[in-house]
Structure 1
Amino acid sequence: MTPRELVAVAEVPGGQPLRLVRRGGDHMILLDRNELMSSRMSGSEALLGTMTIDRLRSDAPRVLIGGYGMGFTLRAVLGRVGAAARVTVAELVPEIIDWARGPMATMTGDCLDDPRVTVRIGDVAQWIGAPGASWDAIMLDVDNGPDGVVRDANNGLYSASGLDRARRALAPGGVLAVWSAGSDAAFTRRLKATGFQVEEAKVRARENGKGPIHTIWFARRAG
């Protein structure tokens, strides 16, 4: 078996360190012993991007992506939108972007330098709640689901007040999409209680339609 090689370590504000590990041609980002993401499991993160864009009414959407990860969602979005779209990527951990431009550059390609893309370093909550914010889509993949595994502060995104803030930051008909490694009935109820029209999709982790089953919530603001 090919051994794992530690490539780099990044500190997470208010959380435990992340480790970038390589095994042969595959990369993994680990939190303690938990695999948060892997280049072998890109399917559901890509579907977060494509399935959200397919649900929008705008031909030139304003999109906010919370968490760059390995860039699967961003690249999927860019492949689905036109030249007039504007995509903001909010990444809390600056080293994640450094890894994208460094050890994972062949996988990243030129997506971070695409003229439609703006990268912001910091908590995605800052841009969700920015004065005058009006997004056609907000996509959240900052944790392993709607709870603060990576850091406790992420819980605020999925609380009733956090969801209400996201709803108000969406344009009428806009969509909040949340990726999760598993289902969460309580989170579904919170979305509905906030006033969203909720669709819960089950998707496979791998691009070939195999692997673990992940969950994506699509919560639409009325209008």
Structure 2
Amino acid sequence: MLPWIQLDSAAIPGDGGTLRLKQRGQEFSIMLGSNELMNSRLSGSEEALATLAWQKIEVCKQPHMLIGGLGMGFTLRAALAVLPEEAKVTVAELVPEVVAWARGPMADIHKGTLDDPRVDIHVGDVGALIRSRSATYDAILLDVDNGPDGLTRASNDELYDTAGLGAAKKALRPKGVLAVWSSAPDPAFTRRLRQAGFATEEVPVRANGKRGGAKHFLWMAMKG
């Protein structure tokens, strides 16, 4: 079996640790310590995050979608596949090197999506971006961590607490959706969403779509 080769590393701002980009043949992995955050062979649940969110807002004209976390680009690629030409997609990525990896060693995986005219890349904290906006987005998609537990960066907890959910609700347009990816269920987060006034649906999905894999969880939380 081919060995893993480390291609690069990147510090997560705010003392969040160090990401490591690794490659084995045509397979890529992004690691944080001993935790694999993403793997190029597993894309089903990230793609579902985009397609299920789009189903909630497909009546919107000129929809604006915010994606928190570029990662390996699976969510962005799936979003661009279903969004109309007049849509706008803002991708907020905290770690500049992740954007560089998308244009460099993982360019074949991203398939030119960063150059799509509908896409705007914002290098910075998605939470700060959300807090600075009002009635701006039809959909906010969050895949910046392993879920609402703030594994990679403690300040990510602020996205999922009561204040963070209030900020997301304010940043959404009427009938907008907040879609959140997680590696595991979180009943407390479901309760917070509902307490914040979101009509909330929990959706179990497989890591590799119809081909199976680990069970992940998505929340589709609708603003009234």
Question: Structure 2 length as normaliser, TM-score?
Answer: 0.97
Q: 2 CA distance for matches of 1:162 and 1:31? A: 24
When the two chains are superposed, the root-mean-square deviation of aligned CA atoms in Å is: 0.9
Aligned runs of 1:1-223 on 2, under 5 Å? Answer: 1-14=1-14, 15-56=16-57, 57-222=59-224
Residue type at the aligned position of 2:220: F
Q: 2 CA distance for matches of 1:212 and 1:59? A: 35
- How far apart are residue 133 of structure 1 and its match? 4.5
Residue type at the aligned position of 1:40: R
Q: 1 CA distance for matches of 2:196 and 2:167? A: 10
Deviations 1:23-43 (A, max 9, x none): 111000000010000001101
Q: 2 CA distance for matches of 1:209 and 1:131? A: 38
- Structure 2 runs not aligned, ≥5 long: none
Q: 2 CA distance for matches of 1:72 and 1:147? A: 22
User: Match of 2:56, SS?
Assistant: coil
User: Match of 1:182, SS?
Assistant: coil
Deviations 1:139-173 (A, max 9, x none): 00000001211010100000000001101111110
Q: 2 CA distance for matches of 1:37 and 1:53? A: 23
Q: 1 CA distance for matches of 2:82 and 2:96? A: 26
Percent identity reads: 51
Give yes or no for contact 1:59–1:81 (8 Å, CA) kept in 2: no
Give yes or no for contact 2:137–2:173 (8 Å, CA) kept in 1: yes
- Structure 1 runs not aligned, ≥5 long: none
Q: 2 CA distance for matches of 1:133 and 1:142? A: 22
Q: 1 CA distance for matches of 2:135 and 2:170? A: 9
Deviates most, 50-59 or 151-160? 50-59
Count of residue correspondences: 222
Deviates most, 15-24 or 126-135? 126-135
Give yes or no for contact 1:181–1:214 (8 Å, CA) kept in 2: yes
Q: 2 CA distance for matches of 1:131 and 1:207? A: 33
The runs of 4+ residues in structure 1 deviating greater than 2 Å are none
Give yes or no for contact 1:60–1:81 (8 Å, CA) kept in 2: no
Q: 2 CA distance for matches of 1:123 and 1:199? A: 26
Q: 1 CA distance for matches of 2:47 and 2:164? A: 24
